[in-house]
């Protein structure tokens, strides 16, 4: 396949940035999208030009590091996958592909296609944990049976990879799906009950401070989420928040 790429280039956080056109040829449909970018970068290095910077690590859809906005969609045209799992067989010979970073106020650009998502980490610092020390004296793991349905639902919420596609797809740049997933995981487990009130209040407060927008229920996040995190998590967080506010 031969392709035209329109890629966002931005030297650093203070640079203005612009779209630049590139051509790549001999792309195999079996390549992943990132391997296609590797081909481009090898070309650029050989021509003494600067390669395109993009985030990636595991390249199998689990670390949450890759983050491209491809043809107007977070993680590109396929569903239920991350950019590193997107394969070139989704495109046609001669296509023009637009590649931009995830855009949101709370995700400033670092360089080219790389953005800073540490706002997500700071939300976790505020309450994304259960306060238990490593003592070796915790109760036996089977001492509290947990209903399989609850355990599975908590697990599903916990599979969020923190990629930020939900934020990038949302017209308000809301982080509700991400935060809802974490709040839900703990809300569904008996171990998470003790700190439930503080957790949801603190995490939501931090989320607002980071400059994420409000949720207006458009559902775009759920559609683009590579891990199928459902909107129910947002509803559950809202219930938890209400409960906590009444108590608090």
Partner 1 sequence: MALDSKIPQGPIADKWTNYKNHIDLVNPANKRNIDVIVVGTGLAGGSAAATLAELGYNVKAFCFQDSPRRAHSIAAQGGINAAKNYQGDGDSTYRLFYDTVKGGDYRSREANVYRLAEVSANIIDQCVAQGVPFAREYGGLLDNRSFGGVLVSRTFYAAGQTGQQLLLGAYSAMNRQIGRGKIKMYNRHEMLDVVKVGGKARGIITRNLITGEIERHSAHAVILGTGGYGNVFFLSTNAMGSNVTAAWKAHKRGAYFANPCYTQIHPTCIPVSGDHQSKLTLMSESLRNDGRIWVPKHMKDVEAIRNRTLMPKDLAEADRDYYLERRYPAFGNLVPRDVASRAAKERCDAGFGVNATGEAVFLDFASAIQRYGKETAHVKGLDENDAALVKTLGQEVIKNKYGNLFQMYEKIVDQDPYNTPMMIYPAVHYTMGGIWVDYNLMTTVPGLYCIGEANFSDHGANRLGASALMQGLADGYFVLPYTIGDYLSDDIRTGTIPTDSKEFEDAENEVRKTLNFFVTNEGKHSVDYFHKKLGKIMWNKVGMARNVKGLTEAISEIKELRAEFWKDVKVPGTNEEYNEELAKAGRVADFLELGELFAKDALDREESCGGHFREDAVELDGEQKGEAKRDDENFAYVSAWEYKGEPSDAVLHKEQLEFKDIELKQRSYK
Query: In the bound complex, what is the minimum distance in angstroms from residue 57's beta carbon to ligand FES?
Result: 5
Measured from the CB atom, is 127 or 164 closer to ligand FES? 164
C-alpha closest to that of 61 among 71, 51, 76: 76
Binding segment (CB under 6 A) for ligand SF4, from list 17-25, 128-136, 194-202, 226-234: 226-234
Q: How many residues bind ligand SF4 (CB under 6 A)?
A: 14
Binding at 178: pick from ligand SF4, partner 1, ligand FES, none (beta carbon under 5-8 Å per type) = ligand SF4
Binding at 225: pick from partner 1, ligand FES, ligand SF4, none (beta carbon under 5-8 Å per type) = ligand SF4
Binding at 66: pick from ligand SF4, ligand FES, partner 1, none (beta carbon under 5-8 Å per type) = ligand FES
Binding of residue 163 to ligand SF4 (CB under 6 A): yes
Measured from the CB atom, is 150 or 239 closer to partner 1? 150
Binding at 173: pick from ligand FES, ligand SF4, partner 1, none (beta carbon under 5-8 Å per type) = none
Listing from the earlier edge strand, what are the strands of the sheet with 69-70? 18-24, 3-9, 96-100, 69-70, 73-74
Query: In the bound complex, what is the minimum distance in angstroms from residue 163's beta carbon to ligand FES?
Result: 7
Query: In the bound complex, what is the minimum distance in angstroms from residue 68's beta carbon to ligand FES?
Result: 10
Binding at 164: pick from partner 1, ligand FES, ligand SF4, none (beta carbon under 5-8 Å per type) = ligand SF4
State the DSSP string of the chain.
Answer: --EEEEEEE-SSTTS--EEEEEEE----TTSBHHHHHHHHHHHHHHTT-PPPP---SSSSSSS-----EETTEET-SSSS--GGG-BGGGS-TT-EEEEE----TTS-EEETTEE--HHHHHHHHHH-S------S-PPPTTSS---HHHHHHHHHHHT-----HHHHH-TT-B-HHHHHHHHHHHHTSGGGSTTHHHHHHHHHHHHHHTT-B------HHHHH-TT---THHHHHHHHHHHHHHHH-
Query: In the bound complex, what is the minimum distance in angstroms from residue 46's beta carbon to ligand FES?
Result: 24
Query: In the bound complex, what is the minimum distance in angstroms from residue 185's beta carbon to partner 1?
Result: 7
How far is 182 from 186, CA to CA, in rounded Å?
Answer: 7
Measured from the CB atom, is 47 or 171 closer to partner 1? 47
Query: In the bound complex, what is the minimum distance in angstroms from residue 206's beta carbon to ligand SF4?
Result: 16
How far is 248 from 195, CA to CA, in rounded Å?
Answer: 12
Measured from the CB atom, is 43 or 172 closer to ligand SF4? 172
Site for ligand SF4, rule CB under 6 A: 160-166, 177-178, 181, 225-227, 229
């Amino acid at each position: 396949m031969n392709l035209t790429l329109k890629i966002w280039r931005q030297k650093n956080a203070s640079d203005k940035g612009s779209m630049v056109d590139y051509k790549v040829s001999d792309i195999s449909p079996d390549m992943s999208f990132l391997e296609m970018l590797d081909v481009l970068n090898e070309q650029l290095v050989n021509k003494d030009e600067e390669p395109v910077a993009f985030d990636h690590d595991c390249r199998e859809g689990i670390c949450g590091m890759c983050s491209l906005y491809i043809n107007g969609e977070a993680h590109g045209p396929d569903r239920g996958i991350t950019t590193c799992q997107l394969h070139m067989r989704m495109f046609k010979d001669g296509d023009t592909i637009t590649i931009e970073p995830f855009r949101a106020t709370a995700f400033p650009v670092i360089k080219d296609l790389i953005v800073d998502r540490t706002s997500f980490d700071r939300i976790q610092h505020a309450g994304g944990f259960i306060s238990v020390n490593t003592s070796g004296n915790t109760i036996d793991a089977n001492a509290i049976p947990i209903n399989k349905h609850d355990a599975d639902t908590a697990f599903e919420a916990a599979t969020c990879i923190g990629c930020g596609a939900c934020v990038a797809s949302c017209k308000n740049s809301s982080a509700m799906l991400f935060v809802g997933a974490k709040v839900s995981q703990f809300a569904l487990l008996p171990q998470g009950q003790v700190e439930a009130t503080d957790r949801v209040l603190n995490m939501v407060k931090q989320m607002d401070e980071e400059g994420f927008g409000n949720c207006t229920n458009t559902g775009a996040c759920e559609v683009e989420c590579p891990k199928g995190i459902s909107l129910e998590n947002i509803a559950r967080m809202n219930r938890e928040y209400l409960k906590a506010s009444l108590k608090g």
